A and B are shown apart, each in its own frame.
Chain A
Amino acid sequence: MTAGAAPELSAPADRELAARVLAGDEAAFRDLYRRHTPRLLQLALRLVGGEESDAEDVVQDTWIRATEKLDAFRWESAFGTWLHAIGVNVAREAARKRERRREADWPDGAEPPAAEPLDHVEPLDLERAIASLPAGYRTVLVLHDVEGFTHEAIAEQLGVTAGTTKSQLFWARRAARALLAPPTKGTSA
């Protein structure tokens, strides 16, 4: 993935901190954690559908996996990009588990009702709509429309084709609009 990368200037510092973490420096880990967790937590929170405790679990598991793999990280991408890619995978697993516990408005793959593009959207309402989407739609919508990743990058991350992510984004936006759309005259009661 290319979008959402940590600023170039921070890369050497991340690398230096990571080297110190591998040498057992807890303070370096805390620095790394504090630098990257706010963004990771927000991403996790959206991907799991707004459940804070689930998002915290994702953050913890992400750091565990990242620290386990740290010595194998080749620094071909920014540390933040790599960390968030791990976070996306962990969050998808968490979201799948959570999905089994709740009734989604539209199961993945089901066709949401058609809705007009919106002229006014409150961010808070948008956040709620994103949380209500099925996990598959939500992941693509968050990565593309919120995080700014390209379809190719998302496809690589999720192990699907770009065509699939485009299709999922189409349905995700449609579902979100249906959730956000005010009731139209004649359709209620």
Chain B
Amino acid sequence: MNDRDDLTPAERRAFEELPRERAPRAALEERVVSALRRRGLLPIPLGAVASRRRLAPWLVGAVAASLALFAGGFAAGQYFGARSGAAAAISGAQAAGSATQVAAHVERAGALYVAALVALNQMNDSADAPTRAKARQAALSALGAAATEVAHLAPNDPLAAAVLRGMTEREQEQRPAPSTRSVVWF
């Protein structure tokens, strides 16, 4: 069989008319770059190094969700492990030298954050309303701070954008006075 002789002219023409290129979605480029950064194949750029500094508030925010529970004075013993783990995550993230290490710290802090929320749900009935509200606000602040950082890392990430959009809308709905934004940082 000769290479292309087996095709009729119409068939050959149809093959030739098929597009050879396809424009990728802009999000794909960010996805690929992020994947390379996660694997340490591309360094964290200066902007993201600055954002690594901003990561500390994110981590602090995550810890805030946990510590808010302590502030209420209940179930402290249950959380000592999480608190010390989170504190270690903060200092570890600050000292981390590679994208992989930072990603690991983020993952660990995220797990602590979710664990604190689970605990908060379990404690809902026994905690008093102001303490619950404070813990809930701390949790939402951490969520917003995390979404902001993710948006810095991946500007086209739809989930981060949706979270930020939702939080902005919520803020606007709940804003009785101009400066009621309360972010709980510890």
Q: Which residues of A contact B (CB under 8 A)?
A: 21, 24, 26, 29-30, 33-34, 37-39, 41-42, 45, 56, 59-60, 63-64, 67-68, 117-123, 126-127, 144-146, 150-151, 166, 169-170, 173
Contact = CB atoms under 8 A, between A and B. Distances in A.
Nearest to A176: B11
A87 B24 CA distance: 15
B14 A38 contact: no
Select the residue from B4, B11, B35, B43 with max chain A CB neighbours within 10 A: B11
Interface of B: 1, 3-4, 6-8, 10-11, 13-15, 17-25, 28-29, 31-33, 35-36, 39, 41-43, 45
A173 B6 contact: yes
A123 B36 contact: no
A144 B3 contact: yes
A119 B8 contact: yes
Given A118-B10, A169-B1, A173-B7, A42 B17 contact: no
B11 A42 contact: no
Contact of A34 (B29, B31, B35, B45): B29
A42 B28 CA distance: 14
A169 B3 CA distance: 10
B24 A41 contact: yes
A144 B2 CA distance: 11
A155 B22 CA distance: 26
A98 B162 CA distance: 31
Contacts of A56: 24-25, 28, 31
Contact of B29 (A33, A42, A122, A166): A33
A162 B17 CA distance: 26
Contacts of B28: 37, 41, 56, 59-60
A86 to B, nearest CB: 14
Contact of B15 (A59, A117, A146): A146
A90 B23 CA distance: 20
B24 A118 contact: no
Given A118-B10, A144-B3, A126 B15 contact: yes
29 contacts: A21-B42, A26-B33, A26-B43, A26-B45, A33-B32, A38-B21, A38-B22, A45-B22, A56-B28, A56-B31, A59-B24, A63-B32, A63-B35, A63-B36, A64-B35, A64-B36, A118-B10, A119-B10, A120-B10, A121-B10, A126-B14, A126-B15, A145-B7, A146-B15, A150-B3, A166-B1, A169-B1, A173-B6, A173-B7
Contacts of B4: 145
Contacts of A64: 32, 35-36, 39, 41
Contacts of A39: 20-21
Contacts of B13: 121
Contacts of B23: 38, 41
A42 B183 CA distance: 47
B18 A118 contact: no
A56 B41 CA distance: 19
A173 B14 CA distance: 13
A166 B1 CA distance: 7
Contacts of B43: 24, 26
Contacts of B25: 56
Given A121-B10, A144-B3, 9 more contacts: A24-B42, A26-B43, A60-B28, A63-B36, A117-B8, A119-B10, A126-B14, A146-B20, A150-B3
